[in-house]
Structure 1
Amino acid sequence: MTETRPLQVQSLKSACSECSVLELCLPIGLSGDEVQRLDKLIVQRFKVKKGAALYRTGDPLRSLYAVRIGSFKTSMVSVDGREQVTGFQIPGEMLGLDAISADIHACSAFALEDSEVCPIHFAQLEKLSQSLPSLQHNLNRLLSREIVRDQTMLMLMGNMNSDERLAAFLLNLSQRLNIRGYSSKDFVLKMRREEIGSYLGLRLETICRGIAHLRDLNLVVIAGRNVKIQDMAGLKQLVAGCNRPAML
Structure 2
Amino acid sequence: MQTAYIEAAIAPIQIMRRQARGDMPTTLTVATPLKTLCSACHLKDLCLPCGLAPNDQERLDGLMFGRRRVTAGQTLFREGDRFQFIYAVRSGTFKSGITLKDGREQVTAFHMAGELMGLDGVAHGKHASAAIALEDAEVCAIPYANLSELAAGNANMQHIVGRLMSREIVREHSLMMLLGSMNAEERLAAFLLNVSQRMKARGYSASEFHLRMSRAEIGSYLGMKLETVSRTFSAFQAQRLLEVDKKHVRILDMAGLSRAFEMRVQ
TM over 0.5: yes
Q: Structure 1 residue 5: deviation in Å?
A: 4.0
Q: Give me the whole-angstrom Cα distance separating, in 1, the residues matched to 2:225 and 2:167.
A: 27
Q: Name 2:32's counterpart in structure 1.
A: 11
Q: Provide the rounded CA distance (Å) in 2 between the counterparts of 1:200 and 1:235.
A: 17
Question: What CA distance in whole angstroms lies between the structure 2 residues aligned with 1:101 and 1:176?
Answer: 27
Q: Which residue of 1 aligns with 2:231?
A: 209
Structure 2 partner of 1:59: 81
Where 2:81 maps in the other structure, the secondary structure is coil
| Residue from 63, 73, 95 that aligns with 2:117 | 95
Aligned equivalent of 1:166: 188
Compute the displacement of 1:220 (Å): 1.2
What is the DSSP-based 3-state SS (H/G/I as helix, E as strand, rest coil) of the residue aligned with 2:88?
A: strand
Question: Which of the numbers 93, 102, 118 marks the counterpart of 1:80?
Answer: 102
- Say whether residues 1:122 and 2:144 are aligned partners: yes
Quote how far apart the aligned CAs of 1:40 are. 2.1
| Cα contact 1:5–1:49 (8 A) shared by 2 | no
Provide the residue aligned with 1:46 in structure 2. 68
**2:147 is aligned with what amino acid?**
L
TM normalised by structure 1 equals: 0.93
Residue in structure 2 matching 1:198, options 216, 220, 225: 220
Q: CA deviation at 1:42?
A: 3.7
Distance 2:73 2:40 in 1: 28
Q: Mark the runs of 5 or more structure 2 residues left unpaired by the alignment.
A: 15-30
Quote the Cα distance in structure 2 between the aligned partners of 1:92 and 1:110: 16
Higher mean C-alpha displacement, 51-60 vs 37-46? 37-46
Kept in 1: contact 2:242–2:253 (CA 8 A): yes
Partner of 1:244: none
Q: Write the deviation string for residues 5-48 of structure 1: whole angstroms up to 9, x where unpaired.
A: 45375514030112110001111121222112112224331111
Equivalence for 1:32: 54
CA distance in 2 between counterparts of 1:88 and 1:136 reads 25
The answer to whether 1:188 aligns with 2:210 is yes
Q: Structure 1 residues 113, 157: closer, same or farther in 2, change over 3 A?
A: same
TM-score, length of structure 2 as denominator length: 0.87
Distance in 1 of aligned mates of 2:64 and 2:44: 14
Number of matched residues? 241
SS in 2 for 1:175: helix
Q: Report if aligned partners of 2:10, 2:77 keep a CA contact under 8 Å in 1.
A: no
**CA shift for structure 1 position 74:** 0.2
Could you say if the C-alpha distance between residues 49 and 12 of structure 1 is closer, same or farther in structure 2, counting changes exceeding 3 Å?
A: farther
Are residues 79 and 34 of structure 1, via their aligned partners in 2, closer, same or farther at CA, if it must alter by over 3 Å?
A: same
| Superimposed CA distance per residue, residues 155-176 of structure 1 (whole angstroms, 9 cap, x where no aligned partner) | 1111110111011100000001
Q: Which amino acid aligns with 1:4?
A: A
CA–CA distance in structure 1, aligned partners of residues 46 and 38 of structure 2: 11
Deviation at 1:90, TM superposition (A): 0.4
The code of the aligned residue for 1:66 comes to A
Letter in 2 for 1:43: F
Secondary structure of the structure 2 residue equivalent to 1:88: strand
Indicate the larger mover: 133-142 or 83-92. Answer: 133-142
Q: Which residue among 177, 191, 210 is the counterpart of 1:155?
A: 177
